[in-house]
Amino acid sequence: MIVCIAEKPSVARDIAEVLGAHTRKEGYIEGNGYQVTWTFGHLCTLKEPHEYTPNWKSWNLGSLPMIPPRFGIKLIENPTYEKQFHIIEGLMQNADEIINCGDAGQEGELIQRWVMQKAGARCPVKRLWISSLTEEAIREGFAKLKDQTDFQSLYEAGLSRAMGDWLLGMNATRLYTIKYGQNKQVLSIGRVQTPTLALIVNRQLEIANFEPKQYWELKTNYRDTTFSALIRKSDEEIAAEEEKNGGKKKIDNPGIDPIANREEGEALVERIKDLPFVVTSVGKKDGREFAPRLFDLTSLQVECNKKFAYSADETLKLIQSLYEKKVATYPRVDTTFLSDDIYPKCPAILKGLRDYEVLTAPLAGTTLPKSKKVFDNSKVTDHHAIIPTGVYAQNLTDMERRVYDLIARRFIAVFYPDCKISTTTVMGEVDKIEFRVTGKQILEPGWRVVFAKDVKDPTEEKEEEDENVLPTFVKGESGPHIPDLNEKWTQPPRPYTEATLLRAMETAGKLVDNDELRDALKENGIGRPSTRAAIIETLFKRNYIRKERKNLIATPTGVELVQLIHEELLKSAELTGIWEKKLREIEKKTYDARQFLEELKQMVSEIVMSVLSDNTNRRITIQDAVAAKAEEKEKKETKKRERKPSAPKEKKPKAEKATAEVTSDSTTSSTPAVAPAATSSATSSTTGGVDAWVGQPCPLCGKGTIIKGKTAYGCSEWRNGCTFRKTFE
């Protein structure tokens, strides 16, 4: 009898149907010489510390570092899991052959290997490796079964990751909890979790410590077109631009020096206002814009967060559901390319997109283009980019439909012609001061028609406005103009959203727009595409971060924890990225798993020694999420007694939650991120006293004064672009 083991009951049912196994038994499906069974994700896990030695049961510094001589696995304590495992064990003990039908990835390999080890399987093992769950893909996969040995490096990488997370997580969590914690609360430290938190905290501190600087822009209006004076770039700006462009050197640096003060700017206006504006050059350049790349998991999570405000975890669950419904391919991928063998299948996939016939009709009956930007075997390892399967998508939820729509349109768009554009740059001059304006015109929309009905976010709309079509200018023409001096303020960096945090995790904290550069940095990204969503959720559960609209805000506890950790290896995204790269190299057989673990053991030992040698009396007070909710509830009841709620009931808890979390945490935290004035102002507002914030000069723009809104303080100059905002605390 051949035993097939899948990762979920639903996947097992699909496989059994294709294999002709129709007899339902307890815990498996039998028929046609096959027994198809399933796990529920992880059935096994690494043993707890006390299961290696009783001395590790109690938390004490003397037992650290905990380094097992040999790692062991155990069944997860759950009656359902234990029952299913014993069924699997019985089937495997009597099997002639086992076919591993787990998800085709590192985690899927680890899940099933552990089950087979625990069950004591001794027969030959084959591997089913498929990228979708359609009947065709399953039949094709069973016709091309691979040997289990072909995936040994994949298993070793997954095992190394699990053991590495155990070594660092178990030791660092106990170490920091005992050394610095109080109130019997656990300080959770993780190999990926902590550097991710550090990214958020560091960004937050940058914003808190940001000092806005005033600057001026010289512009002039000629023929109803606004030209901007060229400003000479600083050496730092040139260096940053070169890095962003992949090292391409830019020699030209024309323009005037930055305008240092209003007097200097007004002098320039006076100097040029009565002189004619002369057009010195008109350049027109035709170009092409390529269709957006196909989705990998991270880019899909980013897009869903931007467009629909879905969390990374929500998007992962939705795309997993689409995969199990057979309408999308395997989701846990980190490539945006397709392999060459997918190309012949593309016409049939397009034909299957029945709800998109208006868009696919122009492609029907034609030879589809085969671009290297889409099809590239060298950029595909285990799985290709996420695309539709061609199975008709029906019975989808609204949320699933939105995600599917993104995937389908991206897939259609890559076969459309490039968008042809024309960029016009007009240069002008007044008294040797150079001015410039740029406009863009779409000549042929090409792939843009696929996204014609897309609702653009405000930032995209702004970009479109900047890309205006210019009137016709002729070199040498001149005439009167109206110069103007615009006062501006430098802006702090933006807080992370889930979209930008995912990008930062993908590139170890280096945010880049260039796709090629991003691909290169992926090697050093932290976490796996499939685990990043869970990492972010863990930070929420630990009460280290909270969400304010789309922004991710570190709680005072989160800030204090990162500031407490002096060991860069624990909190540096870049250093953690190096470890992630080694795990990928294990998978590619270019790095030894044993060496990785030895290096990690050495690192853990050094961290323990470093923390133990700290003679300061530093402490951190942790407030868990349960306590925060309890305090929130108490605050809510108090507010109900004090006054009637002015906002709708469903909106009120959200506002109160934010207030409760910040206020309660700030009273027990020593972090400088929360200003003392904030607490006092919040208190005065509830007792009917004078609000200390209202009427104060704006700390961001310096022009306006602080005003009080429904949920936050703002600046009276908000209509003029000041973005200062401070939530009630």
State the sign of the Cα–Cα–Cα–Cα dihedral 493, 494, 496, 500: negative
Give the Å distances, CA to CA, from 195 to 512, 525, 570, 577.
19, 11, 7, 10
User: What is the distance of C-alpha 132 from the center of its chain?
Assistant: 24
> Cα–chain-centroid distance for residue 83?
37
**Terminal-to-terminal C-alpha distance of the chain:** 66
CB atoms within 10 A of CB 103: 22
3-class SS of residue 467? coil
CA distance 505 to 518: 11
The tokens for 62 are 């003397």
| Per-position b or e across 235-262, b if 16+ CB within 10 A of its CB | eeeeeeeeeeeeeeeeeeeebeeebeee
Q: Rounded to whole angstroms, how far apart are CA atoms 256 and 252?
A: 13
Measured on CA atoms in the order 594, 597, 603, 609, is the torsion positive or negative? negative
Distance separating alpha carbons of residues 659 and 23, to the nearest angstrom? 57
Residues labelled as active-site residues? 330
Residue located via tokens 């040994």: 152
Q: 612: alpha, beta or left, given left = phi > 0 and alpha = psi -120 to 50? A: alpha
CB 391 within 8 A of CB 327: yes
Residue 451 has, within 13 A of its CA and on its CB side, a CA count of 18
Closest CA to 324 of 7, 696, 666, 576: 7
CB 275 within 8 A of CB 430: yes
Burial of 596 (0-12, 13-18, 19+ CB in 10 A): buried
At 185, list the tokens: 């609360």
* Strand ranges (E), 308-456: 419-430, 433-444
| Secondary structure class of 41 (helix, strand, coil) | coil
Q: Rounded to an integer, what distance in angstroms lies between the CA atom of residue 262 and that of residue 268? A: 10
Distance CA(201)–CA(197), nearest Å, equals 6
Backbone torsion region of residue 547, taken as left when φ is above 0, otherwise alpha when ψ lies between -120 and 50, otherwise beta: beta
Tell me how far apart the alpha carbons of residues 38 and 18 are, in angstroms, rounded to a whole number. Answer: 16
